[in-house]
Copies of this chain bind each other. A is one copy, B any other.
Amino acid sequence: MLGLMQQKPLLITTLLEHAALNHPNKEVVSCPIEGGIHRYTYADSLVRTKKLAKALLKLGVDRGDRIGTLAWNTYRHFELFYGVPGIGAVCHTINPRLFDEQLIYIINHAENRFLFVDTTFLDLVERLMPRLPTVEAVIVMTDTGNMPGSSLPNVHCYEELLTEQNDDLEWPEFDENTASSLCYTSGTTGDPKGVLYAHRSTYIHTITACMADVHAFQEADVILPIAPMFHANSWGIPYCAPAVGANLILPGRDVSGAHIKTLIKQEKVTKACAVPTIWLDYLNQVEGTNEGAGSLGRIVVGGTAPPRSMFERFHALGVEVAQGWGMTEMSPLGTVGKLKASMMDLPDKVQLDLLLKQGRGIVGVEMRIVNDDGKELPWDGKAFGLLQVRGPWITSGYFKRDDSPVDEAGWFDTGDVATIDPEGFMQITDRAKDVIKSGGEWISSIDLENAAMGHPGVAEAAVIGVYHPKWDERPLLVLVPKGDPPEKQDVIDYLADHVVKWWLPDDIVFVDELPHTATGKVQKNTLRDTFKDYELPTV
């Protein structure tokens, strides 16, 4: 028997409509590419977003069409976040930092009919355009006065398109499972994969993110999303701010510590989110001045694990730091590092140990760790296994791909290896493909590397699994020495104080340098390839 409650679909535009009606004077503040500061209210934003929607319809955009964006965090990108899905099309945010070949693959795979680009990316698009057969026109996100010349045949000016329209539009109502936005993940191997979000998943994710124990966003907040809008929709914050009527500060192109510091001070930002690199830059700007962090009450840091010192430095400024963990495939929220009431009396050091974990599960996300056989492992903070997740804002498949990333029971494999402690705090210990499988037991390459990095003679360390006839795999430690290489036995002795005996590497190799990706990560695939025939002395 079904209940008798209204079947209003959960649509993204309802969030902006809510803000425009209930918080008409709250502001979206942007740093446009043209320079200066742009301010307008949610009421203004709704009017312009409706004009944009009508402009899209006039361009011939149909339901389901993927509309690409190559843009920084500004109010025009914000309008696209609502205007495009508002008419049933898909806002496809493209990461402009990718290589040309990746961009071409992604735009062609998504079959983008239109590209909305900041002036900064017009050169890029002109270069790629001969290889983008599906793109019918490019819309430059600026006004007529700032409109650059272009060699492209079909280029529109964003503001001109809007000027031609009025805001007389009722949003269409459709299935809440309709696709709303698209974001490609670029793994270290294989083609980029498109994560296709829906109105429903985005709406539920948004409301959940505003819960007091997640981001605790509220009307009184001034929220600065520094994570780019092409990274999992800036972690969902452009949806959260209107949902609660908070002021939203969009930093534009310049995310240097100096600019972030200025924005926080000038706009009285209370909450902000970014990757560790940004925050380290910000800290360097603020520390040593008398200004402190001002209104900033809480930051969320994610994307990669922040160093311990970052917590200490922010705490010294009176700023709460919460680590958020997630993935593009998770909209992105999975866990958030908020201490529990029972932990508030623990010594600072122990609290910090807990905050350095990736956080605890959010209601709506089911989480588990399993071994190679799919057997569930205990939440004891020790056992580590493949981290799997399940829930209404987690991907069920990639765009235009038949292979499913979830198993029969709906579990999505994150590709991470993690522990979960009895209080539900999850800690990532390795990537699944990097963990060393020795006689059925797992050895964390990251833990071994971190231990080796503590040795005074070591500049950089990487651990890979190498074939062993008895144990299947055993760890090989690859070291870049500081100056003269230390004695192997000396390193082994050092490690013996930090890890259990059976984790100790079977051999050590010294190299001049390690292979790195463009973003600075060690390319373990390359290393494994280099040492695939390496014979361990223990064989």
- 0 or 1 for each of A192-206: is its CB under 8 Å from B? (1 = yes): 000111111100100
Interface residues of A in 1-34 (CB under 8 A from B): 1-8, 10, 14-15, 18, 21-25
Binds B, one of A52-60, A100-108, A389-397, A440-448: A389-397
- 0 or 1 for each of A478-498: is its CB under 8 Å from B? (1 = yes): 000000000000000000000
Contact of A6 with B422 in the complex, beta carbons under 8 Å = no
Bound: A10/B399 CA distance, A: 24
CB nearest neighbor in B for A331: B5
In addition to A4-B179, A24-B422, 17 A-B residue pairs with Cβ atoms within 8 Å of each other are A1-B90, A2-B178, A2-B198, A3-B180, A3-B197, A4-B397, A5-B201, A5-B393, A6-B390, A8-B410, A10-B392, A207-B208, A210-B212, A211-B212, A212-B218, A212-B244, A213-B219
Give the number of copies in the complex.
2
Q: Select one of B204, B213, B366, B396 contacting A244, CB under 8 A.
A: B213
Contact of B216 with A6 in the complex, beta carbons under 8 Å = no
Place the interface of chain A in its size category.
35 or more
In the complex, whether A500 has a CB less than 8 A from a CB of chain B is no
A139 to chain B, nearest CB (A): 21
Which residues on the B side are within 8 Å of A63 (C-beta)? Answer: 1
Q: Select one of B1, B5, B177, B424 contacting A23, CB under 8 A.
A: B424
Bound: A418/B366 CA distance, A: 42
In the complex, whether A64 has a CB less than 8 A from a CB of chain B is yes
In the complex, whether A504 has a CB less than 8 A from a CB of chain B is no
Which residues on the B side are within 8 Å of A398 (C-beta)? Answer: 4
A202 to chain B, nearest CB (A): 9
Which residues on the B side are within 8 Å of A8 (C-beta)? Answer: 390-392, 410
Q: Select one of B4, B390, B412 contacting A395, CB under 8 A.
A: B4
Contact of B424 with A4 in the complex, beta carbons under 8 Å = no
Contact of A4 with B196 in the complex, beta carbons under 8 Å = yes
Bound: A330/B212 CA distance, A: 22
Contact of B211 with A396 in the complex, beta carbons under 8 Å = no
Bound: A179/B197 CA distance, A: 28
Contact of A424 with B211 in the complex, beta carbons under 8 Å = no
Q: Select one of B3, B14, B340, B364 contacting A219, CB under 8 A.
A: B340
In the complex, whether A217 has a CB less than 8 A from a CB of chain B is yes
In the complex, whether A334 has a CB less than 8 A from a CB of chain B is no
A365 to chain B, nearest CB (A): 9
Contact of A5 with B394 in the complex, beta carbons under 8 Å = yes
Knowing A22-B361, A424-B21, A424-B22, say if A179 contacts B2 (CB, 8 Å): yes
Knowing A178-B3, A396-B4, say if A363 contacts B213 (CB, 8 Å): no
CB nearest neighbor in B for A209: B211
Contact of A396 with B6 in the complex, beta carbons under 8 Å = yes
CB nearest neighbor in B for A18: B363
Bound: A211/B406 CA distance, A: 30
Contact of B2 with A175 in the complex, beta carbons under 8 Å = yes
Interface residues of A in 381-418 (CB under 8 A from B): 390-399, 406, 410, 412
Which residues on the B side are within 8 Å of A518 (C-beta)? Answer: none
Which residues on the B side are within 8 Å of A397 (C-beta)? Answer: 4
Contact of B211 with A5 in the complex, beta carbons under 8 Å = no
Knowing A213-B218, A392-B10, say if A5 contacts B340 (CB, 8 Å): no
In the complex, whether A80 has a CB less than 8 A from a CB of chain B is no
A12 to chain B, nearest CB (A): 11
In the complex, whether A341 has a CB less than 8 A from a CB of chain B is yes
- A-B contacts, 6 of them at CB < 8 A, read A3-B198, A4-B396, A4-B399, A6-B412, A23-B340, A204-B207
Knowing A18-B361, A24-B422, A363-B15, say if A340 contacts B220 (CB, 8 Å): yes
Q: Select one of B3, B342, B395 contacting A6, CB under 8 A.
A: B395
CB nearest neighbor in B for A179: B3
A211 to chain B, nearest CB (A): 5
Ranked 10 nearest A-B pairs via Cβ = A3-B198, A1-B64, A5-B201, A220-B341, A22-B424, A3-B179, A212-B218, A4-B196, A212-B216, A213-B218
A242 to chain B, nearest CB (A): 9
A398 to chain B, nearest CB (A): 7
